[in-house]
Each structure stands twice: as structure tokens, then as C-alpha cells.
Amino acid sequence: MKGDRVEIVVDAGDTTRTYEVVASRAGRRVETAVRRGVVEVSEVTRTGAVVRTARFMATRVLALVEQPVPREEGAEKAEKTGQKVASIGRPFGDVPET
């Protein structure tokens, strides 16, 4: 989701470097994968298309910090808007009457 970010701290010999991959637009997310000695952090669209990728040697990565944006739950979101929420998490107005 927009605002999700992953910080990567890498050993650069005598110092460390910090890189950041951020989901920059609505509907995008950041995915992390470790494969065959490579850490790969990608920004991905809703459809799964990769927008950009950062790759690092796993032996050089000191820290990988995922920082998701806090999500609002259905009940919390409804309280802010003043709607009543059914037990299944939908507003009462959307529940069909039987």
C-alpha cells in the first residue's frame, strides 16, 4: 500500500549505506525476496507488474527493516465516519435484509 517502505542497510567496506524502497503511489506495495544469495526488494503494482527493483548480495546486507503503513480496520474506519458496523465487518446499510 502507498507509504509502505523497506530500509536496507548494506556493508560497503569501511562504512555502511542505507537504501530505501517506498511504495510511491496508491495501490502499490513493496515485496521482499531472498533467492540464491541475493536480497531483492521490489515495488509492485496491483496487477503484479514490477515497477523497480533493488538487488543486494545477501552477505553484504546487515539489516532489512520493513515498515508498513498502519492499516485501519473496518470497525475503526466506520467509527471515524460514524457508520454502524455489522459483526462481519460491513456497514449495516450493505447487509441485505432477509
Could you read off the pLDDT of 51-95 as tens digits, one per residue?
899 999 999 999 988 887 777 665 455 555 655 544 444 444 454
Q: Is the pLDDT of residue 38 over 90?
A: yes
The burial class, CB within 10 Å (0-12 / 13-18 / 19+), for 41 is: buried
For the chain, the structural domain boundaries read 5-90
Give pLDDT, residue 85: 47
Q: Look up residue 76 and give its amino acid.
A: E
CA distance 68 to 11: 24
For the entire predicted model, the pTM comes to: 0.65
